[in-house]
Amino acid sequence: EEEQCTADAGTMSTDTSSVELSNGTATITATPDGNAVVPDGYVNAYVLTQGSGLVILGAGPEPSFEVTEPGDYTIHSLVFDPNTLDLGIVQPGVTTGFDVFGLLIAGGGEICASLDVAGAQIKVEEEQCTADAGTMYSSHPISCLSGGQATISAEIGDEPTIPAGYQQIFVLTKAFTLTIIGASPTPEFTVHEPGFYRIHSLVFNPDTLDLSVVQPGVTTGFDVLHLIEQNGICASLDVHGALNLVIPGWICHIFNYSRVSDPTAMIEGYMDEFDSYTAFEDSFREDKLDINVYPNPTANTISLATEIIPQETLNYTVVDVSGRVMLSGQTDVKSTSQPTIDLSRLNDGTYFIRFESEYRNFTKAVQVRK
């Protein structure tokens, strides 16, 4: 009489039906129910499969496996005689549990072995990203260049969430384009040019987001966001950041920003109104540095009504209607708050006075009448 096959894989259970990837990996385990039958010479191994097709990914002596992607997995018990079932025929990613079962007596084959086809099913979920950059603000968002530089800083508004293994750094960008200028472990930077700036918080895992790809002056915050989103990287960038405006000394002299009640709102207004720092400064020049001359008409001397910038050399050129230069010189802005120009040598007529300095360029018409 033919010997009966007593091998029985038994059944498997799991304490949790789902686990979540953490830093790109997850360990899934199952527990034998203790009802396996392992005849002499047989061994009890465990097989990991994926999906409803039970594609075999691996096998081992313990019901514990590490996986690196989300999906539906099953851990099976397998009782077999290594002399009759050669697991070398299994091609991971190709051979299925059904292929193996078909070789066994219970599956219509001839080999005495047992596979727990149902196994312990475990769902591996996508890693939930809890990284949060929080928000940033600046309590002193307007700075004046002094000696060719200014130090700008920001403070933390909403607290960041920094998971284990993650870190927070601060990124300095040009406010309009988010072009990255630098990064620092503290939210403080020294800049050497006037402009609108943002200081951002970035929370990331150095193992998954390689910041060496950032080229200062080329890479933007939008590029970093695209990299994060396209590759499913868990990281967080405070895109708005803390706005800072750095202005040259001559603007600081003309306009006392320290008296503004809400400087951040004012900067945001400038951001809405202009598309670059250059546009802002040009508008400021036109609005604040205009030169009015009086009396006009005049018989002898005209006075200049304008903002006086310390150390400014304001050159002037007087031309007639045909473009001939009649007078030229510099206004004495260093010793008086009311510069004047003597036109007594000119004949009656219309003249144009061109004013030029490193800060401004205006032309005014004046009538001379004796």
Sign of the four-CA dihedral 199, 202, 206, 212: negative
Domain co-membership, 142 together with 119: no
CA distance 212 to 232: 18
pLDDT at 314: 87
Q: Read off the CATH number of the domain in which 74 is found.
A: 2.60.40
Domain co-membership, 114 together with 18: yes
pLDDT at 13: 96
Which amino acid is it at 64? S
Question: Of 125, 123, 165, whose CA–CA distance to 20 is shortest?
Answer: 125
Tens of pLDDT, residues 261-297 = 899 999 999 999 999 999 999 999 888 888 899 999 9
272, part of any domain = no
pLDDT at 334: 56
Question: Of 91, 98, 13, 33, whose CA–CA distance to 58 is shortest?
Answer: 91
Domain count, the chain: 3
Which token pair is 88? 């070398």
CA distance 272 to 256: 21
Domain co-membership, 92 together with 182: no
Instruction: Kindly list the averaged pLDDT for each block of 10 residues, start to end, along the chain of length 370.
Output: 83 92 90 97 97 97 96 98 94 96 95 97 91 97 94 97 95 97 97 98 94 94 94 93 94 80 94 96 88 93 84 90 94 68 94 91 93
62, 92, 125 — which closes off a domain? 125
Domain that holds residue 179: 136-247
Which token pair is 241? 């950041």
162, part of any domain = yes
46, part of any domain = yes
Tens of pLDDT, residues 104-151 = 999 999 999 999 999 999 999 988 889 999 999 999 999 999 999 999
Sign of the four-CA dihedral 15, 18, 22, 25: positive
5, part of any domain = no
219, part of any domain = yes
Three-state SS for 123? Answer: strand
Domain co-membership, 161 together with 90: no
Domain co-membership, 298 together with 338: yes
342, part of any domain = yes
Contact 186, 136 (CB under 8 A): no
Domain co-membership, 63 together with 30: yes
Domain co-membership, 121 together with 141: no
Q: Read off the CATH number of the domain in which 332 is found.
A: 2.60.40.1930
Prediction pTM value:
0.67
Three-state SS for 125? Answer: strand
pLDDT at 1: 44
Domain co-membership, 17 together with 121: yes
Domain co-membership, 301 together with 350: yes
Look at the block and give the residue holding tokens 């918080």.
201
